[in-house]
Chains A and B, each alone.
Chain A
Amino acid sequence: MCLAIPGKIIEISPDRSCIVDYESEKRTAKIITDDISIGDYVIVSNKIVVMKVPKEQAVSYLNAIRKS
C-alpha cells in the first residue's frame, strides 16, 4: 500500500518508528537506514521506509497527482 506515493515524515520515535503524513491520512512505519530525518519524503512498503525521495521531486509529483 502507498508504494507509489511519497509521504512526509512528521515524527520519529527513539525506537526508529515514525509517522508518515499522506495529507489524507497518517501512517506509522519503521526506519531501517540512518539517512532519514523529520521532513524527509519517503516511500513506505509493508510499514517499512524503503526509500527517500528528494524533496523537490516529491513535491512536484504530489502537485501533479493533485491536479489529475
Chain B
Amino acid sequence: MESVEKFFLKYAFPCANVLVDMGEISQEQFERVEQACKNNEQVSKKELEELFKAAFRRIKQIAKEMEIEDYWDKKVIEEYWHRNHNVIIDEEDGNYKNFPQSFCDFCKVHIAKVEQIISPELALIGYGNTKRPIFTLFVPDLKVGDKIRIHHAYAVEKAD
C-alpha cells in the first residue's frame, strides 16, 4: 500500500514548483523532491513539513477539527487535498490572494476526465469548459474515459 508520505507528495509536488519560483524553497530542495517523485522514493515527514509549511499549518488545524491526534493520518491528509485545499484558495489565504483568478483555478484540485492519451507522459483532460494537458507521472496507466483527480498540470490519482 502507498505510504501517506507518498500520497501527500503526489499532491504537493506541483506546489513545490510554485514555491521555488517564489523563492520560498531553494532549487536544491526542489530538485530533491523532483527526483524522489520520478524515482517513486519516499521523502521523510520531517522534510515534507519543512518544505510545505503552509500546508501543514492547515493540516494540523484539520486534524484538530476532525479530532484525530496524528495529523499524518491518511484521513486528515486526504481531507486537506480533496476538500480543504480548494476552500483555502477561494478564501484567498496566503499567496493565493496575489494570483490571477485563472491561476487559482489551476492550483485547485479538480476531478477531470481523460480525453486523449498524447504520449507516455502526457494526457489531455477536461472538466467544465476547460481542456488542458497534464503529466501522467503519478498515474501512468491512464485510459481514455478515466476519471482522475488533477492538481496543477499533474494527474494525481484515479477518482471513482
Q: Do A and B come from one complex?
A: yes
Residues of A near any B CB (own CB < 8 A): 1-6, 32-33, 35, 43, 45-46, 48-54, 57-58, 60-61, 64
Asked if B21 and A50 make an inter-chain contact with CB atoms under 8 angstroms apart, the answer reads: no
User: With a CB–CB cut-off of 8 A, which chain B residues contact A51?
Assistant: 102-103, 106, 132, 153
User: With a CB–CB cut-off of 8 A, which chain B residues contact A1?
Assistant: 17, 20-21
User: With a CB–CB cut-off of 8 A, which chain B residues contact A64?
Assistant: 98
What does DSSP make chain A's interface, helix, strand, loop or mixed? mixed
Interface residues of B in 133-150 (CB under 8 A from A): 133-135
Q: Size band of the B side of the interface?
A: 20 to 34
Asked if B103 and A61 make an inter-chain contact with CB atoms under 8 angstroms apart, the answer reads: yes
What does DSSP make chain B's interface, helix, strand, loop or mixed? mixed
Asked if B18 and A3 make an inter-chain contact with CB atoms under 8 angstroms apart, the answer reads: yes
Report the 4 A-B pairs with minimum CB-CB distance, sorted nearest first.
A57-B100, A3-B17, A50-B153, A32-B133
| Chain A residue nearest to B17 in the complex (CB) | A3
Given A33-B132, A50-B134, A51-B132; A45-B17 close (CB under 8 Å): yes
